[in-house]
Amino acid sequence: MTIPNIAFNHDKTNQAEFEIIELSDLYMRPVMEHDPQAPHRVSFFMLIYFEQGEGKHTVDFNQFNFEPGSLIFVQREQVHSFDFSSQPQGKLLLFTQAFLDKVHANMRLPNYTPTHLNQQHNPLLKLDSINHTRTHSLIEQLQLELQTPTSEPLIVMYLFSALALLLHRLRPVSSHNNLSAEHSIKLARFFSLMQQYAQQIRDANWYASKMHTTYKTLNQICKLATGLTAKQMIDAYTIIEIKRRLVVSNITTQQLANDFSFDDTSNFVKYFKKQTELTPSQFVKHNALQAVRL
């Protein structure tokens, strides 16, 4: 079994790179290419807004309790799964890096950085009644504009920017507010390179060279964005990917060692244990026990 990769439907949105769908659509559709309640990876950003219902949403091995007025931020390339047991009502806002780049070029917007690589990151935000109402109103206005035959992309971008700024203000202050536009671009480039090469290369100097920058500069950007060094980001990204494969597939430790370019299985196990304090087999057992308790 492998983790399904869910891509953004560019044709459906007429290349607008932004879409809003009803949460109920995911469990009311008679036929789905994948089960949304099973772990799946998304190649885009996702904002899940719960209006009604309660349950647990899983993002990279962590479960978060949602209730009316809850929001969950899912970063691109994260693996997550829904809980439809209470048939929750709400909205899914889907958008790509290309959409964010357009917004950044036209107006102010908080940076979407890979903060999920830091273990202190929390993707859940619970709104009070006032901000619940404001959020609902902005999403409703976004939907109306998207459904307008002569929809104006700038109006969509302004409304999205207003929503993003409102939600950003409600989240804990992050150091990535200090990132310049140039640094944001470099960080996005670094993340893209990790997606391509992390299975083969874990040398931060190699990535800095590939980006035509210095290791020192890359390190500074990473620390500002996530609180981690470039090497710590590479290791965090690698470990999350290994965990995903361990949990979802029946892959062997030897096969994983080969896939991630380790010289031998023992070095792979040592690397994993250094990062997690567990061997791969211990992690699988621990994760299974956690799932049973939940």
Residue 137 pLDDT more than 80?
yes
- What is residue 55's predicted lDDT score, i.e. its pLDDT? 93
- Return the higher-pLDDT residue of 223 and 208: 208
CATH architecture of the domain with residue range 178-293: Orthogonal Bundle (1.10)
Condensed to tens digits (0 to 9), the pLDDT of residues 2-40 reads 676 777 777 676 667 899 999 999 888 766 677 898 888
Percent of the chain with pLDDT over 90: 46
Amino acid at 230: A
What is the arithmetic mean of pLDDT over 224-229?
Answer: 85
- What is residue 213's predicted lDDT score, i.e. its pLDDT? 93
- What is residue 100's predicted lDDT score, i.e. its pLDDT? 82
Report the CATH fold assignment for 5-172. Jelly Rolls (2.60.120)
The band of 293, judged by pLDDT with boundaries at 50, 70 and 90, is very low
- Return the higher-pLDDT residue of 132 and 40: 132
Whether 186 and 211 have beta carbons less than 8 Å apart is answered as: yes
Mean pLDDT lowest among 41-55, 117-131, 152-166, 183-197: 117-131
Domain range list for the chain: 5-172, 178-293
- What residue has token string 């920058």? 213
Whether 276 and 283 have beta carbons less than 8 Å apart is answered as: yes
Residue 292 pLDDT more than 80?
no
What is the arithmetic mean of pLDDT over 107-116?
Answer: 57
Condensed to tens digits (0 to 9), the pLDDT of residues 164-207 reads 888 888 876 554 456 777 787 888 889 889 989 999 999 999 99
